[in-house]
Structure 1
Amino acid sequence: MSELEARVLPEATLARLTQYLRALNALEAQGLERTSSGVLAKEAGVNPSILRKDLSWLGSYGTRGVGYVVRELAEHISRTLGLNQDWKVAILGAGNLGRALSGYAGFTSRGFNVKAILDVDPALIGEPVGALRVEPISELATVVAREEINIAVLAVPGDAAQDLVDSLADLSVRSVLSFAPKPLKVPTGMNLRRVDLSTELQILAYLAVQG
């Protein structure tokens, strides 16, 4: 592994790389083969100097006066983000949120394949959710092994989330996206991202009042 590949990128840079990738894909869809840092920054909604600094982490992929090759830069960002790998997702929780997430087209288009949806409610077991059927959470180990799950999404109440994180850790699932409305303890080696919708709404309410 090279020094560049081994480098850990700042979290803010990682978040912006996803914006650049989305912008590059949009530019490619418009038929553009090259773009400048100014155009790409505008499409991504960031300052051009920040964009150039972020891309400097990836090495030299632009040419002064010429700009960036859209497809080449998009592919490099995809490799950096690990999107060239096969990501197989299990959604834990088949309520309204879990069902909505399972049908989100953005997962598949970005290389994340939802392979299973599970729930604890006996009334939901066997129910169709898109091309899937709800499976019992008691079969989590079987599902993880069968589908080679490497990412789990928690769409469950807060009280159930910690036990599921512990179970996923035992099953060597190291990447978890949690919508559970509470902090969770994770073991060393597990990466957990938390999306707290109520917190985001509260921040919007504060900003609206201040504005």
Structure 2
Amino acid sequence: MKKGTRQEIPRKAVYRLSLYLRCLHRLKINSIRTVSSEALAKAAGVKSTQLRKDLTYFGQFGTRGLGYDVEQLSTMISDLLGTNSLQPVILVGVGNLGSALLSYRGFEQEGFEIVAAFDAYPDRAKTRTVKQPIHGMDKMPEFIKEHSVRMAILTVPIPAAQEVTNTLVENGISGILNFAPIVLHVPEDVTVNNVNLAIELENLSYFIQH
């Protein structure tokens, strides 16, 4: 299966792969074996032309007139997203938000396991009821290398965000889910996805008022 290069593939197309995968999972639960591009696109809330275009970035899928094999397509998308086996993730910053994310059990169902957390004040953080071990920041570089971790969730205060990011990148982290409301500066081969709930609420507020 021929794939496009990292630069050729729009981030939104990769995002929509996750939408398609969830729709396919629901189809499997309902024992549906094949699905047309129109039906899958409708379930994902996109146009069928968009779905077909997205999939062509990654190879040839489906059979004209027959649609997509649900099991096969879901497996292929899982392979592309790297969620066909549990991926280790670390979390940095065990405050209220970090603790809530550590307690969330849904990540493992989607192929990700938070294997450890790190905090500037580990003894204080350890008073929180979470199953993952909580270490001091000085233990983070060694842990990343020993456990071959490539992804991190960042839930630290703004003043610490860039410095922590630098440490993560220097030790092999290449994907960061950033909850700190600040733009992080990273090398081109490192991907940062920003989650800013205030911006999302502002966006909703605009459309409510207009």
Instruction: Output the TM-score relative to the length of structure 2.
Output: 0.91
Give the RMSD, CA atoms, in angstroms.
1.9
Is the contact between residue 107 and residue 113 of structure 1 (CA under 8 Å) also seen in structure 2? yes
- How many pairs were matched up? 209
Report if aligned partners of 2:2, 2:58 keep a CA contact under 8 Å in 1: no
Q: Which runs of 5 or more structure 1 residues have no equivalent in the other structure?
A: none
Structure 2 partner of 1:130: 130
Q: CA deviation at 1:185?
A: 0.9
The equivalent residue for 1:65 is: 65
How much identity, in percent, do the aligned residues show?
35
For residues 122 and 151 of structure 1, the distance between their equivalents in structure 2, rounded to whole angstroms, comes to: 20
The answer on whether the counterparts of 1:122 and 1:136 sit within 8 Å (CA) in structure 2 is yes
Greater displacement, 185-194 / 26-35: 185-194
Cα offset for 1:46? 1.1
SS of residue in 2 equivalent to 1:80:
helix
1-side partners of 2:10 and 2:201: how far apart? 26
Show the counterpart of 2:153: 153
Contact 1:91 1:116 in 2 (8 A): yes
Note closer, same or farther for the CA distance 1:59–1:149 as it changes in structure 2 (3 Å cut).
closer
Native 8 Å contact 1:174 1:191 kept in 2: yes
- 1:82 shift after superposition: 2.5
Match of 2:3 in 1: 4
The separation in 1 between residues aligned to 2:59 and 2:89, in whole angstroms, is: 31
**Distance in 1 (alpha carbons) for counterparts of 2:61 and 2:190:** 32
Contact 2:144–2:172 (CA under 8 A) maintained in structure 1: no
Corresponding residue SS for 1:62: coil
| Alpha-carbon contact 2:90-2:117 (below 8 Å) kept | yes
Q: Take 1:45 and 1:106, find their aligned partners in 2: how far apart are those partners? A: 23
Question: Is contact 1:125–1:136 with CA below 8 Å preserved after alignment?
Answer: no
Q: What amino acid does structure 2 have at the position aligned with 1:182?
A: I
TM-score (norm 1): 0.90
> One-letter code of the match for 2:194?
R
How far, CA to CA, are the matches of 1:163 and 1:95 in structure 2?
A: 18
- Which residue identity is paired with 2:69? V
1:127 Cα deviation from its structure 2 partner: 3.3
Q: Distance in 1 between matches of 2:190 and 2:126?
A: 30
Ranges in structure 2 where 5+ consecutive residues have no aligned partner: none
C-alpha displacement of 1:189? 2.2
Structure 1 window deviating more from structure 2 (80-89 vs 134-143): it is 80-89
Q: Distance in 1 between matches of 2:5 and 2:15?
A: 18
Confirm or deny that 1:106 pairs with 2:106: yes
The structure 1 segments of at least 4 consecutive aligned residues displaced by more than 4 Å after TM superposition are none
Give the whole-Å Cα distance in 2 for the aligned partners of 1:14 and 1:66: 24
User: Which residue is 1:180 aligned to?
Assistant: 180
